[in-house]
Amino acid sequence: MGKERNSEIEDIHNAARSGDLLKLQSICSSNPLAVNSRDKHSRTPLHLAAWAGQTQVVTYLCKHKADVGAAAMDDMGAIHFAAQKGHLEVVRTLLSSGASVKAITRKGMTPLHYAAQGSHLDLAKYLVRKGGSLSAKSKAGKTPLDLAGSEEFRTVLVECERLSRKGDKNVKDKRILMAKLLQMEMVKNTRTQTSRGKLMKILMKMVKYKRTRMSRGKLMKMAPRKKPRRYRKRPELLLIIF
């Protein structure tokens, strides 16, 4: 029984590493718990698939309850393995499945540290846009910029971070503007009793709605509801018969 189990673990790990999706699906369907099985280095199939850049396998594992935050030796997560090898699409999949861009290893290394160390520029820029910090220090006191291979690489990352912060500020400014416009329209339309639908159309014209991160649902909640008209009660007529 023990030999069969070890053989199954070895098979699913080999399938994850090589990208054999059919074999991996077959093993997972017969034993769903194998999705988070570990080898002698405490690595799961997700770790190996991420390291090998097997995007389809990573997507399948994430959809079938693989632990995206599982730590192997030295607290290395799947996102660290993928960043180390520069697999951008794998990192995208892991982040969308709940992995943290700020996850650290036992050495204090973030995914951005590994991307910079490996001179994976596109991946490093993506991680910066997703909130990776260029000032984060490892246990050795190194930042991603310290690990970057060239001055040009460092310059691009610094500029990317600056633009990312500017973009966040613009979004915040648009939200503040939206709130102010709503207040103005609420005051302006209290007498005319403009419907919420019309008010939304006015606001969408005044602000480029599609470029903000506010959903339509949130905007609708902020918009004032149309108050029902109140009718004065007419005094009852008393018929007096003489």
**Type of residue at 61:** L
The pLDDT value given to residue 163: 81
Using a 10 angstrom Cβ sphere, with 0-12 exposed, 13-18 middle and 19 or more buried, the burial of residue 223 is buried
- Tell me the DSSP string of 181-217: HHHHHHHHTTTTT--HHHHHHHHHHHTTGGGSS--HH
Residue identified by tokens 């910090």 is 133
Tokens of 139: 């246990």
Question: Quick one: average pLDDT of 166-178?
Answer: 56
pLDDT of residue 195: 57
Q: Look at the block and give the residue holding tokens 């329209």.
A: 185
Contact between residue 174 and residue 211 where contact means Cβ atoms under 8 Å apart: yes
**50 touches 19 (CB < 8 A):** no
Predicted pLDDT at 237 = 46
The structure tokens 């846009």 sit at 129
pLDDT band at 8 (very low <50, low <70, confident <90, very high): confident
- pLDDT band at residue 120, thresholds of 50, 70 and 90? very high
Residue 101: the pLDDT is: 96
Does position 67 have pLDDT exceeding 50, yes or no? yes
What CA–CA distance (Å, rounded) separates 96 from 189?
42
The whole-number average pLDDT for the span 169-185 is 55
Write down the mean pLDDT value for the chain: 80
Determine the Cα–Cα distance for residues 143 and 215; give it in Å rounded to an integer. 36
Q: Render pLDDT for 192-212 as a digit per residue (tens, 0 to 9).
A: 455 556 666 656 655 544 444
Contacts of 220 (CB under 8 A, 6+ apart): 196, 200
Burial tier of 105 (Cβ tally within 10 Å: 0-12, 13-18, 19+): buried
Residue 175, helix vs strand vs coil: helix
Give me 141's structure tokens. Answer: 């006191």
DSSP structural state of residue 36:
G
Distance separating alpha carbons of residues 223 and 242, to the nearest angstrom: 57
In angstroms, the CA 55 to CA 17 distance is 11
- Give me the pLDDT at residue 76, please: 96
Quote the tokens at residue 216.
Answer: 């339509």
194: phi > 0 → left, psi -120 to 50 → alpha, else beta; which?
A: beta
pLDDT in tens, 123-166: 999 999 999 999 999 999 999 999 998 888 889 898 888 887 76
